[in-house]
Amino acid sequence: MGEPPKPPVTVPQIVLMSKEGIPADEIIEKMRESGTVYRLQASQLAQLKEQGVPDAVIDYMQQTYIDAVRRDQSLEDCDNWTLADDGFWYGGPWWW
């Protein structure tokens, strides 16, 4: 039996880590380890930038979605995503 997935890294957690000055590469590593996939609207990406999230982190978040859809075209369908209480769409081991 495999190891259970690591808890997802939520967008509010990413904003908090950014405000706390955690380096972008450390934030990205936490997201990578969790397998969290982010489906973000352009306006949400802009808000993250305004809230101080580093460009590298925002780029990684966008890339998770692009990579997921490349692996499975059905992920373009909103029915395959979970809208969390924080107002963001997520995918990954916790949801798929």
Q: What is the pLDDT of residues 71-93, one digit of tens each?
A: 888 777 777 788 889 888 888 87
Q: Summarize the confidence of residues 34-53 as an average pLDDT.
A: 95
**Band of pLDDT at residue 59, cut at 50, 70 and 90:** very high
Buried b / exposed e over 55-80, threshold 16 CB at 10 Å, is eebbebbeebbeebbeeeeebeeeeb
